[in-house]
Each structure stands twice: as C-alpha cells, then as structure tokens.
A and B are shown apart, each in its own frame.
Chain A
Amino acid sequence: DTAVSQTPKYLVTQMGNDKSIKCEQNLGHDTMYWYKQDSKKFLKIMFSYNNKELIINETVPNRFSPKSPDKAHLNLHINSLELGDSAVYFCASSWTSGITGELFFGEGSRLTVL
C-alpha cells in the first residue's frame, strides 16, 4: 500500500479553470504538508496542517485553499489557474509538527496550465 498517495498524478488544464488535488496518508501521522516544486526543481512549503489545524501558511496567493477533513487527508484546491501555477505539487506527512520528524512524500501531482 502506498503510504502517501496523491491524485491525480498528472493534470493538464486551461488558464482560469479551478482544479483540486487530493492527498491521503495511511501512516497514522498527525501532520500533513503541501510543497510546490517549480521547473528548476526548487521545493517550497505552501501549507501544513496538524490534526486538521492550519499550522503553516506561507505567502501563497489566496487562490490556493487547502482543506483537511481529517488528519489522514489534505486536499488542495486552486481557483483561477494561472500559467505560473504549473509545477509539481507534493503532499507529505510526518508524525509531528516538530522539526525532528521525517517527512514522507507522495509521488507528486504534475500540474500543467495551458
């Protein structure tokens, strides 16, 4: 079984559309994250949730809205997609929101905005 699974793996859409990426972890972790990896492979945190509570909210356009219905799921909804949103979005989870926890990453969702 995949520990951290994301769907869809690939997403191609037009500018202006709204799309969602879903993430589920079966590791029993209490903290989940969204990271964005740009075309130069630079990784930047976007959000993190601990037990459904928003812990980290980086400077991200408010077109991006995370939602955590329970501690095993963290979804990312993006409104009014722009060309610059094209990237690979990684979901991750860890045991704790503390700094010593190893992050377990999903395989990524590659978003292409045309």
Chain B
Amino acid sequence: AQSVTQLDSQVPVFEEAPVELRCNYSSSVSVYLFWYVQYPNQGLQLLLKYLSGSTLVESINGFEAEFNKSQTSFHLRKPSVHISDTAEYFCAVSADNQGGKLIFGQGTELSVKP
C-alpha cells in the first residue's frame, strides 16, 4: 500500500521569499506523484504531476517539484511566492495496482504574508 507524509502542517512565509513544501511517500511499486492546491472554500486543483520522464516538473505559475526516488520525496518549491499563493497544498500518490485511487497527504497550509 502507498502512503504520503507531508512534513509541515503550516508554512508561514513573507511575500517574495522562497518556499519549499515537503512530501515523502512510501510504496513497494512504481508510483505517480501529484501536487494539488486548494484555495479557501474551493475544491482541489491539480498543480503539477510526475508520471515518468524528467524528474523535475513545473507548473504554469512558477512552482516546481522534483521526484527523488532514492529519497522517496516529491518536494514542492517556488523561488518567490505571492500573496495569492496562500492556500492548502496536498501531495498525492497513486500506483498501477490501485484502480485510480489517489492517496493524499495531510496537507500543508501555506500562508504568505506581506
């Protein structure tokens, strides 16, 4: 079975500072990794995903994540955050033998302050 651990429940940062949201997973099979973002009172939206190929994946709004198989990590980074990035971020994992089931981490609340 797969599992996901997000190491920080809350990450407060100042605007224009860099940020890293940590995600570690465990699995006995090959996995596919996702970051979803949830803005207040909204549903989740896919931010980026790793399926195969290049281990560095990017989103259209400046976030990136790197799949590190040896460290079983998929940390999310942004070099300079904006107030509008304030949201809950969820790391998720799925695998070939799970019938499409996404396993989510506990979420990390990113709070960007001016």
Contacts and interface: CB of A to CB of B under 8 A. Distances in A.
Interface of A: 4, 31, 40-45, 48, 50, 55-56, 90, 92, 94, 96-103, 105-108
A105 B32 contact: no
Contact of A96 (B32, B46, B100, B107): B100
B43 A99 contact: no
Interface of B: 32, 36, 38, 41-46, 49, 51, 88, 90, 94-96, 98-104, 106-107
B43 A90 contact: yes
Given A40-B106, A41-B88, A43-B90, A106 B43 contact: yes
7 contacts: A45-B101, A55-B99, A99-B100, A100-B32, A102-B49, A105-B44, A108-B43
B46 A99 contact: no
A40 B46 CA distance: 20
Contacts of B38: 41
A99 B41 contact: no
Contacts of B90: 43
Nearest to A43: B104
Contacts of A98: 100
A105 B45 contact: yes
Nearest to A41: B107
A96 B101 CA distance: 11
Contact of B104 (A4, A31, A42, A55): A42
